Amino acid sequence: MEASAAAALYPAHRCKNLYLVRHAQGVHNVEEKKDVVDYTLPELLDAQLTPLGWSQVDCLREHVTKCGLAKKIELVIVSPLMRTMQTAVGVFGGGNCTDGVSAPPLMVEGAENSGRQPISSLNCPPFLAVEACREQLGVLTSVKRSSITRYRTLFPAIDFSLIENDEDVLWGPDVIEANESVAARGMNLFDWLWTREEKEIAIVSHCGFLYHTLNMYGKECHPTVAEELGKSFANCELRSMVLVDRSNLGSDTSTYNFAGKIPTGLDMPSDVADKKHTEEASKN
């Protein structure tokens, strides 16, 4: 059997599993289907989910629950916009709140006139809002976020501590963010994940962000793989990816490797064999 350079091996502790999700259908997505659309309409500001969007959320929630993924995820990173946060808590949250439970909800009852029951923060991973995974910025009112103060009243259990400004200082009405800039912040976000301990991470974001970021990664892949990475996400679509640390970005100091929990250190039979091979090589 001839060796192939097409395959690659990486230690498991230098890989993370990412579950990338595009938000469910928002009111702005419905507008996009019209022949003539004014994307600067005030009513599209920080667009929320449609009734169909919530149905998509319920379907994906059922899927991740049945397949066991919901129990594996250790962290949910979410773009701080209404539709992504609604999608994230609806899919990965702890279910409806119950009386007598003091934990803050992930989403309050009827948030943004959604008509939904409150969503519990119990028995689910932590949720962290990160600006880096927002949609391509500029011009469209749908990609401008509301204030963090307002979000905290609607999504009390989401962690907004990494967001520096209460109001949206990134969005502007005149300049569209370059595709390369979107991809760069996406790749920087993925690099930042290596500073975290979690291995199973969901990221709930937007079509443009995911499209440009994955296309940049696809440039180093076989054309077939690049084509697969570069496909646009449908509303509420989930794709599983493996993030590989090829540049020693991670801060892994574990004394264990892989699921077998074999401690690193001296392995006497191997050490003896290595020494023997070294001695034989020096004689030749």
CATH of the domain at 193: 3.40.50.1240
In Å, what is the CA distance from 71 to each residue of 15, 67, 68, 196?
A: 19, 9, 6, 19
The answer to whether residue 3 sits within a structural domain is no
Whether residue 200 lies inside any domain: the answer is yes
Structural domain includes residue 1: no
Kindly state whether residue 239 falls inside one of the protein's structural domains: yes
Q: What is the pLDDT of residues 67-114, one digit of tens each?
A: 999 999 999 999 999 999 999 999 999 977 665 567 899 999 988 888
The count of domains in the chain is 1
Is residue 2 in a domain? no
Higher pLDDT, 19 or 111: 19
206 catalytic, yes or no?
no
Mean pLDDT value across residues 138-149: 94
**pTM of the model as a whole:** 0.86
* Residue 155 placed within a domain: yes
With contact defined as beta carbons under 8 Å apart, do 33 and 39 qualify? Answer: no
For residue 36, pLDDT over 80 is answered with no
Range of 157's domain? 12-283
Measured between alpha carbons, how far is 7 from 240 in angstroms, rounded to an integer? 19
7 within a domain of the structure (yes/no)? no
Task: Show the tokens assigned to 80.
Answer: 């701080």
Annotated catalytic residue 32: no
Please identify which of the residues 112, 135, 177, 206 carries the catalytic annotation. 135
pLDDT band at 273 (very low <50, low <70, confident <90, very high): low
Residue 6 lies inside a defined structural domain of this protein: no
Contact between residue 56 and residue 236 where contact means Cβ atoms under 8 Å apart: yes
